[in-house]
């Protein structure tokens, strides 16, 4: 009996060791995947400020928003991305955000790479985007440092601003569209597939277009977004979504 108990004990200890070993291997792989700068494409993400303000206000009634002077899409970020997953992220801690590096661009960034969340540290949004995404993008020719990262975002917006792209396909603020119409509009004008993301009003069930993401290869040539995480959309494809012409529920805002 004692011998059988001892054998069972050894067996259980062996299982625990194997489990621990597997968890250790998983952790190392997971950690390496999160910090690696390997990626397939770059996602250039624009957001509709009126919907972004709505999302911010939904988190707290005390929140106020900063909005651009004109109705236009603004930059969220340039995100190096592996197909079918998120990341890489936070690739190089030896490249901390430096406000001096983007000083020549600051006036443009305040208008076009705007932090909707009024009241936060004025550099917090840009710092977050650089640390999380920019440090992973520096292997791309033309995005070798912090200045280049933000300058490239401004240049991409100048060329691919969704206020112009959608208008060319007669998709205009203040109307409702099937999400497939919006994706088809982008593809018609740019010739490539995109990703459309929505925010949903928890009270009314209405959905608003929040972000449009277009994709580039490592030479910064426009490419299809097929294969990116949550492609082609998180929106409800059975219901029309709103492209709002004002902040839903007319929340108070601060113009910049």
Catalytic residue among 133, 146, 152, 211: 133
What is d(CA 46, CA 210) in angstroms, rounded to the nearest whole number? Answer: 9
Q: What confidence tier does 31 reach under pLDDT thresholds 50, 70, 90?
A: very low
- Does the structure show a pLDDT above 50 at 108? yes
The torsion angle over the Cα atoms of residues 30, 34, 36 and 39, rounded to 10 degrees, is 110
Element (H, E) at 172: none
* Per-residue model confidence (pLDDT) at position 34: 44
Q: What confidence tier does 249 reach under pLDDT thresholds 50, 70, 90?
A: confident
Is 133 marked active-site?
yes
Q: Which residue has the tokens 């977004």?
A: 225
Q: What confidence tier does 9 reach under pLDDT thresholds 50, 70, 90?
A: very low
Alpha helices, DSSP H only, in 97-207?
Answer: 106-112, 124-129, 135-137, 146-160, 162-168, 179-190
- Does the structure show a pLDDT above 50 at 91? yes
Catalytic residue among 76, 146, 152, 211: 76
Lowest pLDDT segment from 28-32, 61-65, 198-202: 28-32
Neighbours of 92 (CB within 10 A): 13
pLDDT in tens, 134-157: 999 999 999 999 999 999 999 999
DSSP labels, 56-71: HHHH-TT--EEE-SSS
pLDDT in tens, 55-73: 998 878 788 899 998 889 9
Chain centre to alpha carbon of residue 241 = 20
* Per-residue model confidence (pLDDT) at position 36: 63
Mean pLDDT over the full length of the chain = 86
Alpha helices, DSSP H only, in the chain?
Answer: 2-35, 49-59, 106-112, 124-129, 135-137, 146-160, 162-168, 179-190
Contact criterion met (CB below 8 Å) for 173 and 245: yes
Is this prediction's pTM over 0.85?
A: no
- Does the structure show a pLDDT above 80 at 12? no
Sequence-distant (6+) residues with CB within 8 A of 215 are 41, 42, 43, 44, 192, 194, 195, 222, 223, 224, 225, 228
Over range 1-22, report the average pLDDT: 44
Catalytic residue among 63, 72, 129, 152: 129
Is 129 marked active-site?
yes
């Amino acid at each position: 009996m004692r011998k059988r108990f001892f054998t069972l004990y050894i067996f259980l200890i062996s299982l625990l060791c194997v489990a621990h070993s597997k968890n250790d291997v998983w952790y190392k792989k997971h950690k390496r995947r999160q910090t690696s700068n390997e990626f397939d494409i770059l996602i250039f993400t624009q957001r509709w400020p009126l919907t972004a303000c709505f999302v911010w206000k939904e988190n707290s009634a005390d929140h106020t928003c900063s909005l651009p002077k004109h109705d236009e899409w603004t930059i969220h970020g340039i995100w190096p991305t592996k197909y079918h997953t998120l990341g890489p992220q936070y690739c190089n801690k030896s490249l901390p955000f430096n406000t001096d590096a983007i000083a020549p661009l600051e006036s443009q960034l305040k208008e076009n790479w705007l932090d909707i969340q009024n009241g936060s540290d004025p550099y917090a949004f840009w710092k977050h985007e650089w640390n999380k995404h920019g440090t992973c993008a520096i292997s791309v020719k033309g995005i070798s440092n912090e200045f280049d990262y933000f300058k490239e975002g401004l240049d991409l917006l100048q060329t691919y601003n969704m206020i112009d792209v959608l208008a060319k396909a007669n998709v205009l603020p203040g109307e409702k569209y099937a999400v497939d119409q919006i994706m088809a509009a982008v593809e018609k004008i740019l010739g490539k597939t995109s990703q459309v993301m929505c925010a949903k009003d928890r009270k009314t069930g209405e959905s608003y277009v929040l972000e449009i993401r277009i994709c580039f290869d490592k030479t910064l040539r426009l490419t299809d977004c097929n294969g990116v995480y949550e492609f082609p959309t998180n929106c409800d494809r059975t219901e029309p979504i709103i492209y709002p012409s004002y902040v839903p529920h007319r929340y108070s805002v601060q113009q910049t």
